[in-house]
Chains A and B, each alone.
Chain A
């Protein structure tokens, strides 16, 4: 067997597959190999949840996100709230105060006007709750059969306060890893109404605007190193991105990770790991240890951070790798998700 090599890889996808949008490795490869080489510039280079640009002596955060959730309504929310909160949160993760949003609708022929009306009303309510204004928009209609009813894109801008420098590259050994609440709620709420996998549950999406929570954090200290909202790909993918960007190692204490019992049960049933399930109203913060207590206290005082807790720490060893101490005291590597997380039922 000396000199043995594997045969040529079976696959390098000639077409885009669903996994390319799953928030895991396939997604990052699209960014790395297609988008970055074409668009390369300083602001893009950071690959944060939002770009930071300098205009007239101010630091402006800018972010865009498209929403293709199926079904349009799910327990605890709809595509409308997601579209507002998603972009608000991406801005907030750079420490910015979100200000203005644009919205683009791509509507499939045949969508009931009443459905569109309901979703738009929900968007308006979400925007009011987040304290942002929708200031411009666009609508396109595509042929029947060329969309899942409705796709929504939102783009937002916000201002970053002076003295704040939050980016995935800034994680440092000695930081604690804080999560603002239970993981996996959104992904499992959507899964529960996904065709073919339906189950009855009380799980509701955690969709929420996090800019208020971030403001409360920055009120305690401007020295927050990293903020991230673990959406597609879940906490595992966000933590891996941070480990990779900062070159630090991350150790999680698995028993400390908050997961609601029903979400845990749904994950058991589908063979999924809550660390890889999407969230829409949670953030991960990396904070120097000396500020941890004060930051936790501030988070817990806020409605969207009431269950905030420390789940791990940033370390010198195993750089770029996320490791979990398991419930029974063993260790395992928490890798980045590859494509879509599939129900592991067989």
Chain B
């Protein structure tokens, strides 16, 4: 595919790798913020090609992973109602709440459907006026414009049977929280390319200055990731801490202004719990008062669900980069994608699942 294959070229990848090996002198810990980046790094084996002195840790950028337990429990309760058609992105179906997951609700007779786009859920609502159609509106800033548009379109069409269970999360407050932790090991960030396509990267400039940490906006193909790593390492070696853009074909400093305009109309900033991390102030979006009639949590009266997360699971430490997935004693033993303890093992983009799927044995065997 055009603009994908070119950025997977093995010869150019070798050149970037050679350059990284040449410039890396110190020991550096980089966090790739986005779960999609984690997936690509491991799927392409980039982690096996970098100098040992560069350590990658996997950030909190997987919405499936960070959606708090209580929101999953709300989703499960709504989805189990007989008059509800519950629509969701695919990999949310496997995320366990306190007791079960959406697959289990489906096996118990619930009408749970996978959709590609939130607009598909709006269409289902229009085609089935007798059903209550609920969309599970999760995601970072990238997904938020799509979910916002779905609500706007439902309003425009006058749909009374459509609502959304919203649990949006925002990247900059999470980076702030990670860097504010006294235990942080992060020396530099690979910022999430598609989040920045929507929001731009001007918001990251004060963070880079305040925490003296390089932030490089990075795409998802092997060459994009290698270029992001190279630029971050170069900054670290030169003692700089700036926001740089390694994904200029898809990201501008200002971001997508029409999308931002709609977001500010449909959503308002709220505090948000992150699974495994806890509450981070101002780190979420909820529906604004103008669109509250579409809030599924209110419509289905599940605002009383307040699940306490099992404090013992270490997925929070993984999400914050304090430990690597395979440093968790349960990794690959009690905790596998088959029986996930934490959401980082559930999502195919979750750091633990990505490790399990692609990286588990690499260090054990001479595969070269």
Query: Which residues in A have some Cβ–Cβ distance to B below 8 Å?
Result: 4-7, 9-13, 15-19, 25-26, 195-197, 251, 255, 261, 264-265, 268, 270-271, 273, 317-318, 321, 323, 325-335, 338-339, 342-346
Contacts and interface: CB of A to CB of B under 8 A. Distances in A.
Nearest to A18: B103
Contacts of A9: 334-335, 339, 341
B113 interface: yes
A329 B13 CA distance: 9
Nearest to A197: B116
Contacts of B49: 328-330
B43 A326 contact: yes
Contacts of A331: 45, 48, 362, 367-368
Interface in B251-268: none
Contact of A5 (B48, B63, B116, B330): B330
B160 interface: no
B115 interface: yes
Given A268-B4, A338-B337, A344-B91, A328 B222 contact: yes
10 contacts: A6-B330, A6-B334, A11-B339, A17-B107, A18-B103, A196-B115, A197-B115, A264-B1, A327-B8, A329-B10
Contact of A346 (B10, B46, B138, B313): B138
B338 A328 contact: no
Contacts of B356: 335
B96 A11 contact: yes
Contacts of B310: 7
A264 B314 CA distance: 36
A342 B93 contact: yes
A346 B120 contact: no
A328 B13 contact: yes
A333 B107 contact: no
Contacts of A264: 1
A6 B362 contact: no
Interface string B131-144: 00000001100010
A269 to B, nearest CB: 9
Contact of B114 (A10, A197, A328): A197
Contacts of B312: 4-7
A19 B337 CA distance: 13
A5 B87 CA distance: 35
Given A9-B339, A344-B349, 14 more contacts: A5-B330, A6-B328, A9-B341, A17-B106, A25-B338, A26-B338, A251-B367, A328-B14, A331-B368, A333-B361, A335-B356, A335-B357, A342-B94, A342-B348
B238 interface: no
A15 B104 contact: yes
A330 B48 contact: yes
Contact of B90 (A25, A195, A323, A344): A344
Given A331-B367, A332-B362, A346-B138, A339 B94 contact: yes
B47 interface: yes
B366 interface: yes
Contact of A12 (B329, B339, B357, B364): B339
A346 B1 contact: no
Nearest to A195: B113
Which has the most chain A C-beta neighbours within 10 Å: B44, B115, B330?
A: B44
Chain A to chain B: the 7 pairs with minimum beta-carbon distance, closest first: A330-B45, A342-B90, A6-B330, A346-B89, A343-B90, A328-B13, A332-B358
Contacts of B304: none
Contacts of A323: 361-362, 367
B48 to A, nearest CB: 5
B100 interface: yes
B116 A335 contact: no
A243 B39 CA distance: 24
A346 B143 contact: yes
Interface in B100-120: 100-101, 103-104, 106-108, 113-116, 120
B367 A18 contact: no
Contacts of B126: none
A12 B330 CA distance: 17
B91 to A, nearest CB: 5
Contacts of A13: 104, 107
A332 B42 contact: yes
Contacts of B365: 317-318, 321
A270 B103 CA distance: 19
Given A17-B104, A196-B113, A251-B367, A326 B45 contact: yes
